[in-house]
Every structure is written in structure tokens, then in C-alpha cells.
Structure 1
């Protein structure tokens, strides 16, 4: 469930950032979208200390920075012949398994294990397809190297003229990756570049993007009103670019002193826009709700399908002596024994534990962000740029934040322990099914659901077959339908209209 949640968040973030920047028309707006979207798999941080971020946005000397970083981040782990073949074989195998369940003869030893297990693991298919389409930049060494190489060609404004950032007496960079956070215990998941950990990077990434967007917004406002960075330099008219965009500013209108560059990207302190800023970021809870609903749908659509198949299938086996009740109908046959048993109970437990793990990790990520943004050393309390630095384990936190910190860490560790146990359990369950471990009197009698009224099935009657097959049809439609809807979701949202519009121009 966590994998589906992180994937849905990544897709929604891509759409959100495209819309967030769609009204900005300052140079490198499009490049900023591509850079920031590509860095969803890294602990992104931004800082405007010494007008570094403002310089990165405004100065024409930094245009190559954006272009080069995009090029250095432009590697893909996407479709190949072997990948397509593997996915095709999975789909074909599932179709054959389902077809065999409906066309095969229902002998005394039949069971729907193949169909139920296939439905149980069907959630993997849309997850794999989704990440292949997104092609996340999750190689830590390559991402770190790309950002570091780009920062070597960055420029910053000074009191006289722009200079290379590497020549300044500072280690700060406008955009950097915080793989070396001091409180690594608190934020360890955020620093792991595997896509499934996007849930932990969501909130700090949103705030970093929002900081960049705000500066592009102010710069675009000044650009729209033909205001130069240096007020003493008159606006130089340029030819309009294609696509209906405003004219691109002349390079002379984009240079000035460090104070002028900083002011060019700052909101008026008396503006209502800056009256209140949430520690969470814009529209984060709506995206969390949508991603949660999609993950819940995929998780319980596939697990629920497997559960339905085995729950409504009478468990039959060899006729042997047992002590459970035998209920005989008027025709002399045993009624079908459906209900909660070893197989369906195992699936239900897997689904419940997966959901609990996701809830624990979601709460933990919210607490981590709350602690990081509420501590005395955070950007929010110091009125300084979003550097998220100054953590010293739990020693620098007030009591309430220290409690929240330890609770977040404990929740995360408990969730990972449960996830490990759950993974082992579901693999063991599949082995038990195919190894006939569950083919015993206790498991074949739906004891969990029927209790003292449990019984074993010796022979199916004709009236039992139709409802059983109806449940199979429902299970297959539920699993396939939810997987199809999930794939359809990210194919609709992965390529927003605003992104296509931005591609048409040079911004």
C-alpha cells in the first residue's frame, strides 16, 4: 500500500508543480519545473542566504545552470523489450489461470489457489508500470553528482558584479541535497532515494518547491511591469516570443547588486500574501487524501479479490475422519463450507497489516515534518531560508518536540517491523497454499468464521457451484478493475496540460 501511495503522490506532485508554475513567465520557468520534478527522489533543500536562490533565478549567467542540470539528470529507467515481455507474460499467465478456473473440472481436490494468489499480487503490475512511465531519478550517486556539478557553474550577485558561487566564502548553495542532515535518525527515510520513500520527502519537497515558486512569481510580476533588477537601468524592449508569452527580458534588465537581486524576488512585507504561511504547504492534504484513496483502492481491490475468491469457495479435500460437525442436507450431501478460514484469514491479515503499516508511516512523516519545522533551529522560527539545518539529535528540541520526535521514530520503526513480518507471512502463506499445508481438516472447515459449527466439505452440490463461480467472477473483476483504474489514473494525470503548454515556449 505504501508503494501505491508514494507513486500516486509523485504523479499528483508533477501535476501540482506544473500548475503552480503555469502563470510564471520568467526565464527558466519550464526548466525549474523539470529540475524540481526530477528531484522528488532526493532530500531537496533551497536557501536564499546571501540571495543565492534569487541569483539563480534572476541572473542570466545562471541560465546554463538550469539547462546543464536538466541534461545531467536526463537518464531513464523506462521501457525495454525485456520489460514489456515480462509484463506481458504476467498478464497472460493471470488470464490463463483465471480461464482454467472457469473451464476446468471441479474434481474433489480442486482449489482456486492460483486465481486467489494471482489476484493477491496483481497490485504489483500497476506499480511497476507506473514507475516505468515516471522513470524516477533514484540513483543517489548520480543525482548527487548532477547537482554538485551544476552548482560549480552557478553564479551569485555581489555588491559589484556576479561571481562564481564556488569563489564565495560560503558552503551554502541555492539548491542542494541534504544527504548529510545532522538528525539522520529522525529523517533517515527522507534520505533514501528509492521511490517508495517519496512519502517521507513529500512535505519538505513541497516547501522547497513553494519557496522557488514564490520567487519566480515575484520576478514574473516585475518582469510583467517592465521593472529592471537595477532600477537605474531602463527597460530594453525585446521581440515577443512565439506562443503568446511576454517578451523575454534583456540580460541588462536581469543584473544588479546582491541587495537589488534579493529585493527583486521578495514579496512586499506589507502584502497580504505573506501574512500567513502554513508549515505544511499548499494543497498538501488534498493530495494526501487523493493518494490515500487510490492506494486504499488498489490494496483492498486486489487483496479483497483474493479474499472473496477463497472465502466463497468451499474447501474440499480427501475424505478422512474429523471431529467437526457434519451438516447433511435432504439429498444426503454436505452443505458447502464457506467462511473465514486459514486461507482467507491469511489474506485478511496481510491486508490489515499493510494498511496499519501505511497509517503508521504516514503519521510518522507528518510528525517528522512538524518537529523539523517547529524547532528553534528551523526555517520557520528563525525567519531564514528553508535550510532545515541546526538539528542536534534530540538535544536541541523543547520537551514537546522531543516527545513528538521520539514518537515519530518509534512509529516508523514499529511500522518497518510489522512490514517485515507481514512480507514473510504473505510469502509463507503462498507457499503453504501451493504446498498443501492448508489442506487439512482444521483449515478446510472455516473454523475462524464458523467456530463450533465448522465442518468439512466432502462433495459439492450443483446449487453450490453457481454462487461460487459468481464470487470468482466478482473477484477477478474487482482485482482487474482496480488495477486498470490505477493505471488509468496516472496515465491521465502524469502529463498535465500545463506541462505541454510550457514546452511550447522558451520559459
Structure 2
């Protein structure tokens, strides 16, 4: 039953205590108590009209209107400064370092908009770092000191789109084998030896957040009845995930400053040694290990963004690259343990456990052969590194526990605050957690699809100008293609490289030029069989020992050098009759079939980033609304979402209500702080096996 004289201040500031008094007076006049309730929702008898502590939502609308309680600047400023401002300031302690400032901004937005994504990237980085340390722990080639240096370098490159490219050019193989390149690894490691770790500023920010949070919680628990609907207890819990994220990145100290990484890479490349007469192309300073691949070699733009929140997009490609590198080091270490030298000379280790430098020298063919992985390698692992999905699942479970531990604590805090159950505040926190989780799922799914749709493993090859071969460019293209796909039983699959007896060991035998005459025939045979070949067959052929391989047959003069370029899945275009010889567009039917997956990946990435951006604005907005009494209105205070037409608004809080609220707030605090503490504890527990 509506009141006789409904209020006309539907959008004006509301005094709920006065509204309840008016409803009680009207009920006393009419002896109708249908608009009054006790705090548990029970009806009020006529003799207890003035003991009523709540009113129905209909009476609230009719007497109070739809407006909010008056804005209180003092309450707003205190709550904003105590609950939200410390966390906003803590965002500055996140690792950034992108090449472009908009990427740094997007990094902060993604972190705030999707704590699940931030925690996932953090914990996955930790697991990957442990994995590479364990992967190389049994490999001491060439020395234990160099092995530790290699692990530190590769681990530090999780914030860049790392590409490992072994191949005929033997650039990466030279990094593995040649003793002169020990300095390359050491120089790279020394240049990367900067830390985004604990400082006075970061420690002060974290201490400020912790102390402010604890003091504010203690103060709110001692004054529960004061501003119970505008307190920031819930918002403090929903933001608490930021504390373990910042601490975690300080513990891991990711190398994410783009300028410093590229400077370290360029500086190290000044000392790189490449076997044979292969000259480094200035535009591609080290095609064997690349930290800045071409745009077309990126699965998504996020791969090139160095802030570590984007590690979700690089984890699969980084794991694959590191796994490939470990295969080459493991192969070299296995041969060294069998007392095999690179050039086939007698082994003379002496009393040292290190591999002597004189046993690590040879020509290109010998170096390629020495570190070739075993022929029984499971080629599926070339695209998906072993254990990578296990790491993704573990990281997902841990970060979802953090996300929903803090979000659940915020929901718990307001759920048991009268009027209990689901209202505007608790629903807002649930929406924030749900959008964060959905954004994380979309972005991680996009990274998996993008990695799946990427073209196959890329190698480096020798590119010989037509003038040096004495043939046409078409002949050179055919010869390069034949080298990309050696045919069993052909001269390309002979028992080893043939070198001129009177020339330098790395000079290629002129007699091999006789093979070029049959290049067209072999090319046609290869094209006939290509359609039935597995997409990974090219990788398998490359990974076979080089005893079944030969260098391209060329003639060059004394002092000449060969340019090194990447060989990207060279595949013949059957419709045009031409082959893409060098870094060309792949027409692999398998790649064509994967194009829809790449398109879906882009859509998921855009959707995930958009959702996270909206969610970042949303969580700040609901925090401000909480302090500004925007939620303190009839609709939000009555828990309409769960109670429906039976909703009511509690105005007077009894001692039992205060005790219930205190218990809920303490429970929310324990849940949020406990989940955050467990997350940090896991970081330190698992961090004991990280590279030194």
C-alpha cells in the first residue's frame, strides 16, 4: 500500500532516517504496517511500529524517491585517500619499459582491468624460468659457467619475441660451439645485468599500502555503524591483488626495458664469431638468435611489447625457442661426453671437466653436424615445448585463486552487510571479477591460436648471388629450394659435405656444381610429393644429422663472403610455378588452412583488450561511487537482485547487525590477505631454483 503523500524529491539527496520516521508515522495513523520490516525481513506488528528498523522497497521509493544519500566530502576524501589512493600509487611500481609509451599505458590498463591476466603472466614467467634452469641443469657444455650464462640470457629474454634459428648458415650453431662466442654470451649477460627490483621507492610504496590497509581496516572495524554503506572495506579487498603482483615482479626482476635489451643485443653482436666465410648482414646482425623479428614473424603485436604483462603472448614461442636451443646444447654435450671433437681429432680433455677450446673448432659442416639433435626427436615438440601446457594450467589455477580470493572477499564483505545478499555493490564486484576472468581467457586463447597458426620453424640459409654460381637467378632459386628439402637418396642426402682438397676447409667443393643441372627435375618431384607431406616434415628433415646434408654448391673467390638471410618455410606455389626462395610468402596448404585460426586469434585479442580496458575504468568507477554514496539509495540498499519484490531497506543497525558485519569484514580481510600472502609465498618458495 502506497503512502498517502509520496515524496516529490525522487532525485534529491535523501535522509533515510527521516524517511523511516515518516513511514512509521503514516503506519501508526493508518494502523497498516505492511510497509515496515525488522532487519531479518519479518513483518512488524501494530504494537511495534516504532520498533521497526527497515522498510519495504516500495515504501522507500514512495517516501524517499530514487535519489542517493547526500554526498559527504569528508567521508569521500577520507575513504578515497585511505582505501583507493595507495593502490593507484602502487601501479607506478609495475614494470614497464616499452618502446612506445602507449604500450606502457596499455600494460597498466590490462593489469588493472584483468588481474587474472597479470597474475597469469607473472606466474607463467616464474614457471618458465624454473623450467629453463632445470632443462639446462644436466648440460655443462662447454663449461658450467657458460651454461649458467646461457640460461640467464635466455631467461632474461622472456620479455621479447625471442627466435632461435639454426640452419645452414650455422650462426646459432656457432654460438653453441665456437669458443670465441663464449664472450658473446658473457657480454650479453653483463649488459642485461640490471634489475627492476627492490628500491627505496618501491619498498616505501608497498609499506605504505600495507600499513594504510591495516590501519584502515582496524579503524573501520571499530566504527562499523558509522557510514556503513559508504565504507571502502569491499574496495580495499577487491584491489588487494595488486600488492602480490607488484611484489612478484620485484622478486622476478624482469628485463623489460626495450632500449636496454636492444643495446645489450647490439653490443654483444659486436663480438659474435660466425664459422666459414659467411658474412653477417648488417640489416640482420644475428639471424641465429633474434630479439626483434620482422612484423610478419610475430604471432601478434603483443609479442613485441616488452612490459611483462604481455608475456602471455610470448610464452609459447619463447618456450619453443628455448627448447630448440636446449636440443642443440644437449646434442653437443652428449658428443663431448663421448669424447668426440668437432673436427674429428683426438680427444685430450686433461684433468679439467670443461671442454677444451681446441676441441670446439671446425668448419661449417662439422659444427652443424656436432650439435644436431637426435634423429628421433618428436617434432610435435618443436611447436609445443614439453610441459608448456602444464605450466599454463598451473599458472591459471594460481592466478584465478588470487583473483577470486580478493574479489570473493569484497563480495563477502558487502553480502553480509544489511540489507544482506546480492545488491549493487556485491554485483559490481562480481562483474569486475567475471570481466577480468573473461578477458584473461580471451587473451590466453588468442595466444594459443596465434601460436598454432604461425608458420613453421624458420632456419637461416646461405644466399648466393647468381653471378657467383654462374647460373641464372632461377637456377639459384631452384638450388636453394632443393637445399631446403633434401631428397633421400639424392646427392643432397649423401654421406657428408665434400670439401676441396686444396682449398680452405670451409670452401665448398666445385664438383658439387654438377648437382645443379638436375635441380629442375628434383624440384618437380618435390612438388609432386609436397601435398602429401606433413606440415612438420621440413623441420624433421632439418633436424636430421648433417651427415645426410650438404652445403649449397657455389664458386667464390678468395676472401669472398656469403650473406646470411632467414629461410622461411620455402614452399612452391603450384599455380604460378614459382618458389618463394628467400623469406618469401609461404603458400603451404597447411598454413592456408590455419588462416582462420589466426583471424579468430586477432578477434579474441581485440575483444580481450577491449574488455580489460572497460573493466579497468569500471573498477575505479565503482570504488569512487562507493565513497561518494552513489550506491546508498533505495534500490541498492534493498538487495533487489536476490530478494526481488520482497526487498527491503535496513535503516537502523542493531548490535546483532554490527556483530555480523564485523565478522563478515574480518572474514573478508582474512580471505583477501590470506590469498595474497599465499601467492607471494609461492613466488618465494619456487624462486629458490631460479637462475642466480
Mark yes or no: TM-score above 0.5.
yes
Deviations 1:120-143 (A, max 9, x none): 111000111111121111111221
After superposition, the Cα gap between the structure-2 partners of 1:276 and 1:413, relative to the gap in structure 1 and judged at 3 Å, is closer
Bigger radius of gyration, 1 or 2?
2
DSSP 3-state at the match of 1:157: coil
Quote the residue 1:200 is aligned against. 313
Quote the residue 2:652 is aligned against. 459
After superposition, the Cα gap between the structure-2 partners of 1:168 and 1:452, relative to the gap in structure 1 and judged at 3 Å, is closer
After superposition, the Cα gap between the structure-2 partners of 1:394 and 1:485, relative to the gap in structure 1 and judged at 3 Å, is farther
Equivalent pair of 1:206/1:281 in contact (CA under 8 Å): yes
Q: Hey, what's the Cα distance between the residues in 2 that align with 1:468 and 1:175?
A: 59
Equivalent pair of 1:154/1:165 in contact (CA under 8 Å): no
Q: Hey, what's the Cα distance between the residues in 2 that align with 1:306 and 1:110?
A: 14
Q: Which runs of 4+ in 1 moved over 6 A?
A: 167-170, 375-379, 385-389, 393-397
After superposition, the Cα gap between the structure-2 partners of 1:278 and 1:179, relative to the gap in structure 1 and judged at 3 Å, is closer
Equivalent pair of 2:230/2:632 in contact (CA under 8 Å): no
Equivalent pair of 2:568/2:586 in contact (CA under 8 Å): no
Match status 1:10 vs 2:132:
no
Quote the residue 1:210 is aligned against. 323
Equivalent pair of 1:87/1:125 in contact (CA under 8 Å): yes
Bigger mean CA deviation after superposition, 193-202 or 274-283: 274-283
Q: In the TM superposition, what is the alpha-carbon distance from 1:398 to its structure 2 partner?
A: 4.8
Match status 1:280 vs 2:362:
no
Deviations 1:430-465 (A, max 9, x none): 111111111111111111111111110011233333
Q: In the TM superposition, what is the alpha-carbon distance from 1:48 to its structure 2 partner?
A: 1.2
Match status 1:131 vs 2:249:
yes
Q: In the TM superposition, what is the alpha-carbon distance from 1:168 to its structure 2 partner?
A: 9.5
Q: Hey, what's the Cα distance between the residues in 1 that align with 2:283 and 2:359?
A: 27
Quote the residue 1:189 is aligned against. 302
Match status 1:290 vs 2:446:
no
Bigger mean CA deviation after superposition, 173-182 or 482-491: 173-182
Q: Hey, what's the Cα distance between the residues in 1 that align with 2:618 and 2:149?
A: 46
Match status 1:176 vs 2:290:
yes
Quote the residue 1:319 is aligned against. none
After superposition, the Cα gap between the structure-2 partners of 1:453 and 1:170, relative to the gap in structure 1 and judged at 3 Å, is closer
* Alignment equivalent of 1:68, drawn from 179, 187, 193: 187
Equivalent pair of 2:458/2:568 in contact (CA under 8 Å): no
* Alignment equivalent of 1:423, drawn from 612, 616, 621: 616
Q: In the TM superposition, what is the alpha-carbon distance from 1:229 to its structure 2 partner?
A: 0.5
Match status 1:490 vs 2:683:
yes
RMSD over aligned CA atoms reads 2.6
Deviations 1:211-255 (A, max 9, x none): 110111111111111111011x21122333xxxxxx112111110
Q: How many residues align?
A: 462
Q: Hey, what's the Cα distance between the residues in 2 that align with 1:363 and 1:449?
A: 33
Q: Hey, what's the Cα distance between the residues in 2 that align with 1:96 and 1:169?
A: 58
Q: Hey, what's the Cα distance between the residues in 2 that align with 1:430 and 1:119?
A: 11
Deviations 1:286-311 (A, max 9, x none): 10011001110110011110111011
Q: Hey, what's the Cα distance between the residues in 1 that align with 2:319 and 2:224?
A: 56
1:108-507 matches, cutoff 5 A: 109-111=227-229, 113-158=231-276, 166=280, 172-182=286-296, 186-231=299-344, 233-240=345-352, 247-269=353-375, 272-274=376-378, 277=381, 279-314=383-418, 337-373=419-455, 380=536, 382-383=538-539, 398-496=591-689, 499=691
Deviations 1:392-436 (A, max 9, x none): 699997553111111100011011111111111111101111111
* Alignment equivalent of 2:134, drawn from 4, 19, 43: 19
Deviations 1:329-373 (A, max 9, x none): xxxxxxxx2011111111000000000000001110000000004
Q: Hey, what's the Cα distance between the residues in 1 that align with 2:444 and 2:586?
A: 21
Bigger mean CA deviation after superposition, 204-213 or 143-152: 143-152
Q: In the TM superposition, what is the alpha-carbon distance from 1:167 to its structure 2 partner?
A: 7.4
Q: Hey, what's the Cα distance between the residues in 2 that align with 1:449 and 1:375?
A: 55
Q: Hey, what's the Cα distance between the residues in 2 that align with 1:419 and 1:481?
A: 25
Q: In the TM superposition, what is the alpha-carbon distance from 1:379 to its structure 2 partner?
A: 9.2
DSSP 3-state at the match of 2:290: strand
User: Which ranges in structure 1 are unaligned for 5 or more consecutive residues?
Assistant: 241-246, 315-336, 501-507
Equivalent pair of 1:305/1:479 in contact (CA under 8 Å): yes
Equivalent pair of 1:152/1:165 in contact (CA under 8 Å): no
Q: Hey, what's the Cα distance between the residues in 1 that align with 2:292 and 2:211?
A: 44
TM-score under structure 2 length normalisation = 0.63
Q: Hey, what's the Cα distance between the residues in 2 that align with 1:115 and 1:338?
A: 15
Q: Hey, what's the Cα distance between the residues in 2 that align with 1:89 and 1:393?
A: 55
After superposition, the Cα gap between the structure-2 partners of 1:167 and 1:458, relative to the gap in structure 1 and judged at 3 Å, is closer
Deviations 1:183-231 (A, max 9, x none): 65x5101110010000000000001101110111111111111111011
Match status 1:97 vs 2:290:
no
Quote the residue 1:321 is aligned against. none
Match status 1:45 vs 2:163:
yes
TM-score under structure 1 length normalisation = 0.85
Bigger mean CA deviation after superposition, 97-106 or 284-293: 97-106
After superposition, the Cα gap between the structure-2 partners of 1:294 and 1:31, relative to the gap in structure 1 and judged at 3 Å, is same
User: Which ranges in structure 2 are unaligned for 5 or more consecutive residues?
Assistant: 1-115, 460-533, 544-565, 570-582
